[in-house]
Amino acid sequence: MQQLLLFLSRNQSLIYKAFLFIAATFLIIYMLPKGGQFKYNFQKGKPWQYENLYAPFSFTIKKETETLQKEQEAIRANAIPYFDFDVDIVTDSRASFNEILNEVYVDSLFAISETAVQRIGNIVIEDVYTKGVVDAIYSYSGDRLIYLKKGNEIEEITYTQLFRLENLKKRVNTAVTNNNAIEVRELLQKILARTIQPNVSLNVKLTEAAIEAEINAINPNRGIIEKGGRIVAKGEVVEGDKFQILNSLKAEYQSQVWSQSNYYWLMIGYSMLVMLVFLMLFLFLKKYRPEIFYNNTKVTFIFFNIFLMVFLTTIVVKLDAKYVYVVPLCILPLILKAFFDPRLGLFVHVLTILLLGFVVPNSFEYMFLQIIAGIVTILTVSELYKRANLFISVGQITIIYIIGYFAFFLIQEGNIQVLHWETFGYFVLSGLATLFAHPLIYFYEKIFGLVSDVSLLELSDTNSKLLKELSNKAPGTFHHSLNVANLAEAAANEIGANAMLVRVGALYHDIGKMTNPTFFTENQVNSINSHNELDPKESAQIIIDHVINGVETARKNNLPDRVIDFIRTHHGTSLVYYFYKREKEKNGEVDENDFRYPGPMPFSKETAILMMADSVEAASKSLKEPTSSKIDMFVEKIIDGQMEQGQFLNANITFKEIQTIKKVLKKKLNNIYHLRVEYPE
């Protein structure tokens, strides 16, 4: 049991990575479509690249989307509408007419008796309500068939058979045949206009239900391909019927109902592919980014972002696949570049797209566009802390999307007549969503404890609390740190390293000197040297402790680990040479470990640059009557000495880059001392 616990404690990092690997694989597989994958890639208008294809099973040919839409439109255009006939309104209208007539009719004023007028009025009412009265205006032609629903009975009539209220006056004139009864006509027109109410209205619910029933009854197929029949020959252009048949075969293949046995094989296949993708990620991190590989927080951060992009894309595809380009996939390389480096950002972006190839339709087109957009993101987004740069880069990414999609459309359709212009709007929305990178970066910094260039910009402010404290307690060290920051930043810019990170690291690399500021030469304001009263070994320990004190101070002030790395490595494992020599002269035998910094040695270009700049700037103060030639020899001697000690063995820096850094440091020191080139006498 103890051995098991010991094994678990020693290998907890690897065990966590194994758990993350398995969990991520299961989550991704859960989101992938549970159907077969069509093993052929084809494009409209392109030749068939494979051998002759024969139908592996019998299947139906699906109608094209445009054909189905036209059939649906035809059904809607020709559908017979349903109208409701209200019998109660007829009864109410007749009763209302008789009542009003009794109230207003005066025998002495009219040539026709009240009974005759009542009879004529009832005839008119009976006539107009024969098929029903309609008042609303519908866009139906007169000969359009309609269904008139009276209770449980349905009668088929033409739309023109319904009576319209504007024809009432004409109908009354026709009913009153006595030419001397003008007053009667006017009376009937007024009374009937008040009493006759529309009793026929369109039954929208029933009409739509009938239309939907007809649409659902549409046969989505237009033919059958028998098993063994040839579908397409090698080299044959995929267009027209061939393209539709291939699409039908692909849809049938992906929507097959899998047996339990097939389903397990399908899951095994998916698992192997997804695991292969994640294995490539782990191998890349272990070989090229070991500092990330051994940091579980950073590995978790990368996996979380991959899962987030796959999750969002899967949700969008399930809702409506045409919105798939709205998902701002370019946020992924942008964020990873902000926290790590461009190469890792692009690598993870490509791996994520490989996973999404199982999810999205038109996978080749999607993968091509997204990879190109990811490359553009990496190439264009620089100095993310400058807000204008992000807007410019998002504009460039959107343009690349539009150009790529337009090119694919031309290849597939051969014209722009049926171009889906709304897709360009999706690309614009994706670009706007990419602008959320800034708040997302801030969120990730708080959750995962990472640091981006935006945070580095904030840390580089010399008015920050910690740097103000350094300038008050150790003004000489603060001035030295500013000089080192300028030298290191210039060198980093010259070789393409992270200049902002180097500058921030340089500003904070000596904060440990605040504990005992007077034991460091740059802070001694008089000729009294505190080390004169100490043993060389004690003095060396105080000097060495400024690294340890610096790390503790940085952690108390919540400085990011990437900045703390500069404090730990800026002296590497070098000797405190001055006190080492004094001890050797005093006692002869000396243990070097008592005078050696704890390390570690620099493990990146940035930390190596700081070591060079720090050593050169500090030692340059000891030069008497500096000249250009002295500075050149001096810089060469210090950096060559560090190389001989193997201080840069763990840093991914080349000899060429070191030579470039030497040139920058020489030039900057000459500018600091206002030196010119020495001319021969």
DSSP states of 256-324 as a string?
A: ----HHHHHHHHHHHHHHHHHHHHHHHHHHHHH-HHHHT-HHHHHHHHHHHHHHHHHHHHHHHH-GGGG
Q: Is the pLDDT of residue 64 over 70?
A: yes
3-state secondary structure (DSSP) of residue 239 = coil
Helix (H) or strand (E) holding 213: helix 204-216
Per-residue pLDDT tens over the stretch 524-573:
777 666 776 777 788 888 888 999 999 999 999 988 888 999 999 999 99
Within 8 A by CB and 6+ apart from 393, the residues are 376, 377, 380, 381
For residue 258, what pLDDT is reported?
47
Q: Is the pLDDT of residue 257 over 50?
A: no
> Encoding tokens for residue 13?
């990092």
Flag the least confident range among 143-157, 180-194, 376-390, 553-567: 376-390
Q: Is the pLDDT of residue 112 over 80?
A: no
Mean pLDDT on 384-410: 81
For residue 14, what pLDDT is reported?
87
Instruction: Give the CA distances from residue 27 to residues 357, 416, 659, in Å, rounded to whole numbers and listed in that order.
Output: 16, 40, 49
Mean pLDDT on 373-382: 83
> Encoding tokens for residue 530?
């505190």
Q: Is the pLDDT of residue 19 over 50?
A: yes
> Encoding tokens for residue 437?
């990178």
Q: Is the pLDDT of residue 369 over 60?
A: yes
Q: Is the pLDDT of residue 509 over 90?
A: yes
pTM here is 0.61
CATH number among 1.10.150, 3.90.550, 1.10.1060, 1.10.3210, domain 453-672: 1.10.3210
In b/e form, how buried is each residue of 384-394, taking b as 16+ CB within 10 angstroms? bbeeeebeebb
> Encoding tokens for residue 72?
């649906």
Q: Is the pLDDT of residue 631 over 90?
A: no
3-state secondary structure (DSSP) of residue 147 = strand
Q: Is the pLDDT of residue 38 over 70?
A: no
Instruction: Classify residue 597 by burial, with Cβ atoms within 10 Å: 0-12, 13-18, 19+.
Output: buried
Q: Count the Cβ atoms, other than its own, within 10 Å of residue 339.
A: 23
CA distance 134 to 657: 89
Flag the least confident range among 382-386, 519-523, 669-673: 382-386
Q: Count the Cβ atoms, other than its own, within 10 Å of residue 573.
A: 15
Q: Is the pLDDT of residue 185 over 70?
A: yes
Q: Are 648 and 602 in contact (CB under 8 A)?
A: yes
Q: Is the pLDDT of residue 678 over 60?
A: no
The more confident residue out of 384 and 414 is 414
CA distance 228 to 214: 34
In b/e form, how buried is each residue of 642-667, taking b as 16+ CB within 10 angstroms? beeeebbebbebeeebbeebbebbbe
Q: Are 481 and 595 in contact (CB under 8 A)?
A: no
Mean pLDDT on 390-407: 86
For residue 472, what pLDDT is reported?
92
> Encoding tokens for residue 605?
């270009």
Quote the percentage of the chain above a pLDDT of 70: 91
CA distance 28 to 274: 8
Per-residue pLDDT tens over the stretch 586-624:
777 777 778 888 879 998 899 999 999 999 998 888 777
Q: Is the pLDDT of residue 56 over 70?
A: yes
The domain spans of the chain are 2-36+260-447, 82-202, 453-672
Mean pLDDT on 405-434: 83
Mean pLDDT on 111-122: 80
Per the DSSP assignment, residues forming a β-bridge with 158 are 145
Q: Is the pLDDT of residue 475 over 80?
A: yes
Q: Is the pLDDT of residue 485 over 90?
A: yes
**639 DSSP 8-state letter:** H
For residue 141, what pLDDT is reported?
84
3-state secondary structure (DSSP) of residue 156 = strand
Helix%, strand%, coil% for the chain, nearest 5? 65, 5, 30
Within 8 A by CB and 6+ apart from 479, the residues are 522
Per-residue pLDDT tens over the stretch 594-603:
888 887 999 8
Mean pLDDT on 283-288: 92
Mean pLDDT of the chain: 84
For residue 477, what pLDDT is reported?
92
For residue 4, what pLDDT is reported?
67
CA distance 579 to 562: 30
For residue 222, what pLDDT is reported?
79
